[in-house]
Amino acid sequence: MLARHNLQRAGFDKRRASPHIGGDDSQKAAVSDPYDDFPGYEPVAPRAGGIAARALAALSPAPDFISALNPEQREAVETTEGPVLVLAGAGTGKTRVLTSRIAHILAQGQARPHQILAVTFTNKAAREMKERIAALIGPSAEGMGWLGTFHAISTKILRRHAELAGLKSNFTILDTDDQMRLLKQILRAENIDEKRWTARTIAYLIDNWKNRGLAPKNVPAGEAQAFANGKGGAIYALYQERLKILNAADFGDLLLETLKIFRENPDVLKDYQQRFKYILVDEYQDTNAVQYLWLRLLAQRTDGGKPNLCCVGDDDQSIYGWRGADVDNILRFEKDFPGAKVIRLERNYRSTGHILAAAAHLIAHNTDRLGKTLFTDGEDGEKPQVSGVWDSEEEARVIGEEIEQLQRQNHSLDEVAILVRASFQMREFEERFITLGLPYKVIGGPRFYERLEIRDALAYLRCTAQPADDLAFERIVNTPKRGLGEASLQIVHDYARRQQIPLMQAARVLVETEELKAKQRSTLRALLKDFERWASEIGQTPHHELAEKILEESGYTDHWKQEKSAEAEGRLENLKELVRSMEEFPDLGAFLEHVSLVMDADNADGGARVSIMTLHGAKGLEFETVFLPGWEEGLFPHQRSLDENGRAGLEEERRLAYVGVTRARRRAKIYFATNRRIHGLWQTTTPSRFLDDLPAAHVQVTENRGSGSGYGAYAQSRFANMDAFGSRYDTPGWKRAQKNGPGGRGPLTIEGEVLSRSTPTGAFAPGDRVFHQKFGPGSVAAVDASKLTIDFDKAGRKLVLDSFVEKTSK
């Protein structure tokens, strides 16, 4: 038993250590010998008619991945029919089960690769899964077209049926940044006090509604009126309208709109239900209401049979409640899917006995859990250590010293991690490590595609490829600074809004008139020309070269070259990296799609370094030695979690502590400080109540000032009784909105370009007295469609657009 678990460990480590270069490295994985995973593995004769025998016939050489599993894992892999819930504790071989299960289904010939739906939460998880499947079964893993994140798979489906959701199949996916800008516009238009109700707050609300599967019309009335002076719901509706006009979807829409399509189009749903013979879900405890509803629909068998749905997760590691994940989904599984088989994986292959005992004891204090107890056949090892320090400064110093000590014992720095509750804690460690000259890396900073320069560059590409992309246009119209500021943009904006046309379209009309100052007009005209020229090169020039050209000719790269800061260098590097990465895609469109959904910051660099990251960021990772600083009341458990979510919040914090402890293979070191600076003020702190949740017999206490915190009374969750499952999309308003499209009376457009649009003719005639916001009163001299030549009383003769003037009585 021990021998096998060592084998498995070796297998896991090896996979994890293999660097991901990006792009398509399935090739590499496919040629590598699957037995590499199991050094010292001794083959067993294939059972007649068994998997090995079958697989051998189809492929050669075929690994017998089944016999490398423990009995529970094996049961989870071989129970392919009917609903299965695999409760996989930390370090019990969860990914191994998922990948082996897929390999098994394929090897048995029960389904073809494209008939398996395998869903993950992160791109990283999806990528790893694909690699590991390829390692098991070879190149046929390539056919797994439906292995991906909830969002990626939803996007794929949504593009196919976009028109059913009031979108065109080339819709843009907005990120948080775009969302904010859009919301700000709406808030301003609605006269909402942006100090009282920030775009961030509203975005959070909308996101929450979407996570719960609620379209604007389904938001409970009380809730819709509880925000933004009673306009919360209305703003959500307006926001959705604007998205449709922009032919755009935000992350929440990807799922919500797909769900809506499934609900309203039984034929479409049926098609997917028949397509997916087997469904697998990773990290099921992290699913939210929409994802749950989405899955439940897809899993339903058209013949009324039981769904072949396999969900893998760990209720004890559910730490994303604050962003909509609902632990109840996993707790309810057996009720949701009658006849479900629940398999517990409790044999841990990662940590030593004391660490496991400490973690198990800690998490046992939670009540909302299915319950499982991890065990190991391995050695007891060192007891987790709990130490008290005077303040956060001493904490950083002591941890620094301990790491140097480990370093002297040849402990690799790659195997050391510091896991903090909140990112402000990182700074103290960084400062200390810089003084010590201890190499470190901070994991989970801004992602590659979220960086300023990358977002700017992408906005240029979006404007080129999708001229109707207003948000992109707004972003770069004055970046680099070209003198097209707020005032000029406002004019373009006003016109576009009034005519309901995209900004670029509006700009094109405006440069023909004198609404804008001469200087701005010529700058804008030049910019529009640039975009036209670049657009004409799509399909001609290879897209990565075109991108480079755009960044050069727009002056964007120069803009950073001129800024001689150390930061600017890095930004230029990132831009180069962006262009380089484009080569892997067939065309600009494919690249933009990838980027909005998938791109990760994958900065692999040499040299061993200590990792500093948040506890959230550490989920799924493991280290030889883990430092857990800041176990103090108010910080961990975090006060806000307690205040906002009461007991549920506390339990989630405790799960976070559990995740932290279980990241350690051999050494876990917990710290609490008695003084900590919070918002600039030094405060005396109390040791975390989680310290008292640890079993004395399995913990080594270096110093303890005792913890005397009592449990306060926690506010009850405000929306405890909201029911997401009663949501419907058949309200008259929603239907109308879908049928007519946003606003219902926009101009006729194709791909965002206006086909026909005319201002009512005859509205103005020569001799009319008019008033212009900027030029004041004047008389119409001549009319040319929507363009008016006007003799202004003060400003003289100007060519302006009719929509900017008002008729005044003579």
Partner DNA sequence: CGGAGCGGGATTTTT
Partner DNA sequence: TCCCGCTCCG
Which positions touch DNA (CB under 7 A)? Answer: 121-124, 149, 151-152, 175-176, 184, 194-195, 251, 322-323, 421-424, 444, 447, 478, 481, 483-489, 520, 597-598, 600, 613-614, 616-617, 638, 640-641, 644, 649, 653, 677, 679-681
**Which residue, among 558, 546, 468, has the nearest Cα to 504 in the 3D structure?**
468
Q: Confirm if 572 and 560 have CB atoms less than 8 A apart.
A: yes
Q: Tell me if residue 313 falls in helix, strand or coil.
A: strand
Instruction: Name the residue among 435, 384, 442 with its Cα closest to residue 417.
Output: 442
Min separation Cβ 695 and DNA, Å: 25
CA distances from 719 to 222, 369, 460, 508 (A): 11, 21, 42, 48
Torsion of CA 519, 520, 526, 532, to 10 degrees: -160
Does the annotation mark 317 as catalytic?
A: yes
Minimum distance of DNA from residue 488's CB (angstroms) = 4
Nearer to DNA by Cβ, of 381 and 649: the residue is: 649
Amino acid found at 489: L
Please name the helix (run of DSSP H) or strand (run of DSSP E) that holds residue 470, with its range, or none. helix 470-476
Catalytic, 108? Answer: no
Nearer to DNA, 123 or 229 (CB): 123
Task: Identify the residue whose tokens are 């009592």.
Answer: 710
Q: Is 282 a catalytic residue?
A: yes
127, 663, 667, 689: the active-site residue: 663
Task: Rank residues 643 and 793 by Cβ distance to DNA and give the closer one.
Answer: 643
Contacts of the segment 600-608: beta carbons below 8 A, 24+ positions apart: 600/123, 600/124, 600/447, 600/448, 601/445, 601/446, 601/447, 601/448, 601/449, 602/20, 602/22, 602/448, 604/19, 604/20, 604/21, 605/441, 607/439, 608/412, 608/413, 608/414, 608/439
Distance of alpha carbon 373 from alpha carbon 89, whole angstroms: 8
Q: CA-CA distance, 283 to 285, in Å (whole number)? A: 5
Nearest to 461, CA basis, from 376, 380, 553, 564: 553
Residue 210 or 544: the one with the smaller Cβ distance to DNA is 210
The distance of closest approach from Cβ of residue 525 to DNA in the complex, given in angstroms and rounded to an integer, is: 15
Pick between residue 681 and residue 713 the one whose CB is nearest to DNA: 681
Q: Find the catalytic residue in 128, 282, 514, 515.
A: 282
By beta-carbon proximity to DNA, the closer residue of 92 and 488 is 488
CB of 458 to DNA, least distance (A): 14
Shortest separation between residue 92's beta carbon and DNA, angstroms: 22
Question: In angstroms, what is the minimal distance from the CB of 418 to DNA?
Answer: 13
Q: Which of 74, 94, 260, 666 is catalytic?
A: 94
Rounded to whole angstroms, the Cα distance separating 12 from 14 reads 5
Active site residue 662: no
Helix (H) or strand (E) holding 87: strand 84-88
Helix, strand, coil distribution of the chain in percent, nearest 5: 50, 15, 35
Q: At closest approach, how far in Å is the CB of 102 from DNA? A: 20
Give CA–CA dist 335/340, Å, rounded: 8
| Of residues 80 and 478, the one with the C-beta less far from DNA | 478
Strand ranges (DSSP E) for 562-721? 610-614, 623-628, 664-678, 681-684, 700-701
- Counting DSSP H helices and E strands in the chain, the numbers are 32, 23
- The catalytic residue among 95, 273, 425, 505 is 95
List strand residue ranges (DSSP E) for 483-580, in order: none
Q: Which is nearer to DNA, 195 or 564 (CB)?
A: 195
Nearer to DNA, 151 or 242 (CB): 151
- Are residues 656 and 319 in contact, defined by beta-carbon separation less than 8 angstroms? yes
The answer to whether 95 is a known catalytic residue is yes
Judge residue 317's burial from the number of C-beta atoms within 10 Å of its C-beta, 0-12 exposed, 13-18 middle, 19 or more buried: buried
CB 691 within 8 A of CB 630: no
Minimal CA–CA distance to 535: which of 551, 550, 556?
Answer: 550
* Min dist. Cβ of residue 244 to DNA (A): 19
Residue in 317, 513, 523, 557 annotated catalytic: 317
Active site residues: 94-95, 282-283, 317, 663
